[in-house]
Structure 1
């Protein structure tokens, strides 16, 4: 990690004076240029005297009223995260019997929680020796932390790290000595001695040159000698590669620090989605709320968490109220909500910049003037405010929609569906729009995160009133996972997938409603090579895409006279198994999609950022086709993995699922021809070669859907070319440490099939 910018930009100390109120006493190394009363009130929240210790979070450089003066000379005009420790020191000799003060550090790192130990020690030091020297020592100590050896992961590497709980994931990046990739001789598995290790420490010996005996009995392979894969060398000093271990020294004391390596900028602090879901799922009495299309995608039965998610997406003003609650607790709910809307920082952005984890009356006019604010408050007076659209009461676990929501957010007619030249258009089924607005049903399309293993249908509910039961079933899945003690990591992955699904739906909606825009090339004309351009034109057709936030939706086209790739044109985007159900799902999500895209009044930045991010992805993505579409096709097309062989090979048991949904569950969906299976596997085998391509490919394989399980069915395909391409792809994965880890999640039956085919 680069050491060019300081870890700590400023240190602040505030104290409550019985006569003058909250006062900002020290700013180190220099004044920020922000109104001192604003800083002091933010550091000393209401009711601070009732808590012995409290942690709060707020941000600087969000708006004009909390922007640092340029004269300070910061290296960039980015968001500053402020971690604030408030302490009440009881002393009977004082007039009010206690001393209330707060110490804060300002940092650009989102993982602010790692600084808590040193902040605690510094505040103790200040109480013993009150002087500005304490702030100077804290400033120097934090900036002396050595992160130079910490691995800097790409977005795809961060996603892969989140998907795996293996403590040796990307272990090669933690080594101090250079690690060379295995050469061609060691990565070739044609001799059939692929590794399947019994332990996970990675200290296995390279495979012998002799060939293991062949057998069709999977148990014989596992009961004889273990099949071994070459592993990347691992140092046993590494405890958990999800973190970088270092220390911070303060006053002669060395404090351990574990810096998380997979944190995105939209994830600030140690938030908890599980806590957020539990609190707002426990209330048995739901307030009588106005039903608004932007918020209630399942009608009156919409789960409170989905209402909150929709409010975040559609740029509503949101307040979290924690009356008589620690301000730090309220702050964590705001940060968790930001993570919820952004897909845990991995999909969307633009939430943190409008978040005020702790807000108060002192600067009320300023933060209430920010479009689509997300604020945390402890003063119940805000309940009577007319500015919020959604009030989340932490104490009661209820979510209230403003009574005047329709007046503030009128809903116009939806745009008409148009003919999409790049896909099987849904416009021909537009006559179904009117009945679809009142009809119900569970939707299955190319991929639906609600259809994963363990999906729980809502029982006892009136199906005529449930407009979109898929959302509610998804939340029931999450609640069930929490009940069975699945961890925070799985919940975050599920919500990340949920947001990805929403964006792909929104992209398809754009295609079906937006007029053709010849200039919408997503930057492809100027940023791709001739070969890449030819490949993209082959995948997308001659006409440019009609969406700015995703790949154009198109089914697989078999090879023809104009095909340049030799195996047809790969599908891309969101393609539904059934156009009627697809139109139905789009219409059920249409209002929240339109609310997300609305950019009036300075809102809609999340959509704008999404379009910008996709344009960048389109230009620099290592894999030059829609990988997610191909994986979804392999996962859901029933002809690809139907029959007894699939049932035998789907005994995988992983985090959150068993794989049983892959045997005929989607028998009513679109099947996959041998030509499409060959095209997908050949494209993956040819297009996934380098380390960057492998990591991007693996970042789309979630644990609750079986990791490589959808790909492993290619080992049993009736077409020899598909089996060969699958082996070729797995051989490529085997050449990298992270690929080996994913291969080890295959079950014994799939492992043996891979070894047997490799030895042929």
Structure 2
């Protein structure tokens, strides 16, 4: 359930020619934060040069100490004030009657919600009213209006349902979760309207439709809201007698705050002008030595908890803040895999906060003052958003590239490694942001990072959505975590961050557990390639959080019989699977993925931008009739799931025709038996599938 108050505080700061920045009002009570510190954040450098500026900062940040274990982290967060996200609007109004000809004021909303950007319209109106009537009553009216926003009927999704909805382009995914609420609202509205003497069909925003109730088989009338995108919950804020429509996003991940653009961050640091300054090689940052692409340096720095500054001299503070928030999402894997980034982030900060900033391990901060560039001891990585240039501090700690443990990854390089290094040294910019692998050798095909960067850039150039791009970074970080579990097992003898035979038995040895690789050569090379970064990540706060979160996952997961993610990866990319292994995979899905929550877990691992059910549909064409039958029965089970049926509708024409053919053959063979009638009683409407998928290319 949402918190009882949407907004905790409303703040007002002003710039006085004699006093400087000062905090004029805090409603309904003081925040407990130093007033001078708040006023400096609310009135950023250069705000008087612009008519308007938006920025974001956080209050009550919990900064765990380096070296803390999970129990210490739990104790540190107990009893602390909740983390507040602050949306701040700065307005400059020119007035000849004012000293220096202008008035500069800032108003901020402090909320627990991560979707704080939805409050921009009401904050604009409140600021305009404050200029006309500079009274705390304006803050009180804003506070009451926002807290009166009704979210009581907003659907609640499980984690896997949220991930399914997030990755789907279908605006009607999980429509059924809204139907009961909508129909009740519509019925109440109709009854009220009829009592007042107007017909129900004239109620704006509603339409009458018929449907067949699958339980009773009867035709029923229903009212529903038409044309709604179920990725959002629509409500309103009534402020100053104005109804402001609000669309609350339902698919934000834990490390996502606001409406930043990860695409903009990628474009900035893969542009033709982007570069990395010369520096001493660092094993955590320089995956390809001096030729490591700037975006990869930034991603490595985020994963290994380096101190990062985003500098935007002359830029609005809100623009710099968005780069910081985008970096948090990128490093955390689309906001979904790792955590602990936003609590170490300072979307906007100033020179006044340097002392507090330096106390935070691995901070991610946005600044507009170029003085930061002159103090490399304050940071490890400085990212200039103007040029895309990344500067590595000369004071950064340089680590020896020695891997502890059993000697799996010795520091000496073999011939394959030297070939990979030579291949990496040939990286050049081919098209804007595109990295060219000039050699088509096997080593280039094993360059996972280069393939990943080129895939992301190509997706952006092909106008993939923001959610899809974030999903690609989620896959990358998920892969790193899975590799880390394998690395720990081989180097230290055990792991607590991965699926293993100890927590997921595999009696027959056909399914396996943990990260899946196309072949043994790829496995060894990826472990070697990621080893230094894995060691860097293992010493971070996000790693300690992940250890704790993974144990919770093991306790709460719905399927404990086999490693679902591994089997999907094997179906996607394994080069060698014998018939016994393939049969065991499809049999496991048919046997153990039964109830809706288990199906949700599977569908969450099959995003639309990765082909949806494509890995399973390979079974429709397998030479074994047993595999084809398991595939057919599992797809039939998905057909009876509210989200699964939409995945079925999204099959391409080739897959759909194969499914239809196998279904028809199965019906012809089994129609005379009672058991078959039970299994196939709800026959899919293939003409509906065809119409819903018309225009899709195979």
TM-score range, shorter chain: 0.7 to 0.9
Match of 1:41 in 2: 40
Tell me if 1:503 matches 2:481. Answer: yes
Residue deviations 1:644-698 (CA, integer Å, cap 9, x gap): xxxxxxxxxxxxxxxxxxxxxxxxx3x2122111111111112211111111100
Match of 1:251 in 2: 240
Q: Pick the structure with more strand per residue.
A: 2
1:304 aligns with 2:294: yes
Distance 1:581 1:4, change over 3 A: closer
Deviation at 1:714, TM superposition (A): 1.1
Within 5 A, what are the aligned runs for 1:121-132?
A: 121-132=125-136
Provide closer, same or farther for how the CA distance between residues 271 and 8 of structure 1 changes in structure 2, counting only shifts above 3 A. same
Give the equivalent residue in structure 2 for 1:224: none
Task: Note the C-alpha offset of 1:277.
Answer: 0.8
Query: Could you say if the C-alpha distance between residues 139 and 78 of structure 1 is closer, same or farther in structure 2, counting changes exceeding 3 Å?
Result: same
State the partner residue of 1:135: 139
Q: 1:483 aligns with which of 461, 464, 479?
A: 461
Higher helix content, 1 or 2: 2
CA 27–274 in structure 1, closer or farther in 2 if over 3 Å, else same: same
2: CA distance between counterparts of 1:718 and 1:131?
77
* 2: CA distance, partners of 1:713 / 1:247: 46
- Which of 148, 153, 157 lines up with 1:144 in the alignment? 148
1:584 is matched with 525
- Describe how 1:668-747 pairs up with structure 2 within 5 A: 669=575, 671-747=576-652
Partners of 1:433 and 1:439 lie apart in 2 by 10
- The separation in 2 between residues aligned to 1:739 and 1:273, in whole angstroms, is 29
Deviation of 1:396 after TM superposition, in Å, equals 1.3
Mapped pair 1:264 → 2:253: yes
- 1:404 pairs with 2:395: yes
Write the distance in 1 (CA, Å) between the matches of 2:99 and 2:536.
53
Return closer, same or farther for 1:118/1:481 CA change in 2, 3 Å cut-off.
same
Q: How far has the Cα of 1:297 moved from its partner?
A: 1.3
Give the secondary structure class of the aligned counterpart of 2:351.
coil
Change (3 A) 1:483 1:235: same
Alpha-carbon offset, residue 146 of structure 1: 0.5
Q: How is 1:30-109 mapped onto 2 (pairs within 5 angstroms)? A: 30-62=29-61, 77-109=81-113
Secondary structure of the corresponding residue to residue 18 of structure 2 = coil
Query: Could you tell me whether the CA contact under 8 Å between 1:266 and 1:339 is conserved in 2?
Result: yes
2:193 corresponds to: none
Query: What CA distance in whole angstroms lies between the structure 1 residues aligned with 2:343 and 2:603?
Result: 30
- Using a 3 Å threshold, how does the CA distance of structure 1 residues 344 and 203 change in structure 2: closer, same or farther? farther
What residue is the counterpart of 2:496 in the other structure? 548
Once superposed, what is the RMSD of the aligned Cα atoms?
Answer: 3.1
Question: 1:108-507 counterparts in 2 under 5 A?
Answer: 108-177=112-181, 235-284=224-273, 286-290=275-279, 291-385=281-375, 386-405=377-396, 408-417=397-406, 427=408, 434-435=414-415, 437-440=417-420, 458-460=436-438, 469-507=447-485
Whole-angstrom CA distance in 2 between matches of 1:636 and 1:273: 27
CA separation of 1:177 and 1:338: change in aligned 2, threshold 3 A: closer
| Structure-1 residue corresponding to 2:565 | 628
Structure 2 counterpart SS, 1:176:
helix
> Deviation string for 1:602-629 (max 9, x for gaps)?
xx11001111111111111112221111
Secondary structure at the aligned position of 2:643 is classed as helix
Q: Which consecutive unaligned segments of at least 5 residues does structure 1 have?
A: 66-73, 180-200, 209-229, 419-426, 444-454, 516-545, 599-603, 638-668
Q: Structure 1 CA distance, aligned partners of 2:488 and 2:223? A: 48
Equivalent pair of 1:91/1:97 in contact (CA under 8 Å):
yes
Unaligned runs of 5+ in 2: 65-77, 184-206, 424-432, 667-698
C-alpha distance in 1, partners of 2:208/2:604?
22
1:315-363: CA deviations, max 9, x gaps? 1000000001000000000000000001111111110000000010112
Give the number of aligned pairs: 612
Q: Secondary structure at the match of 2:247?
A: strand
C-alpha distance in structure 2 between counterparts of 1:11 and 1:33, whole Å? 13
Report if aligned partners of 1:298, 1:467 keep a CA contact under 8 Å in 2: no
Quote the Cα distance in structure 1 between the aligned partners of 2:42 and 2:7: 17
Q: 1:75 to 1:248 in 2, by over 3 A?
A: farther
* Contact 1:334 1:357 (8 Å CA) reproduced: yes
| Match in the other structure for 2:534 | 593
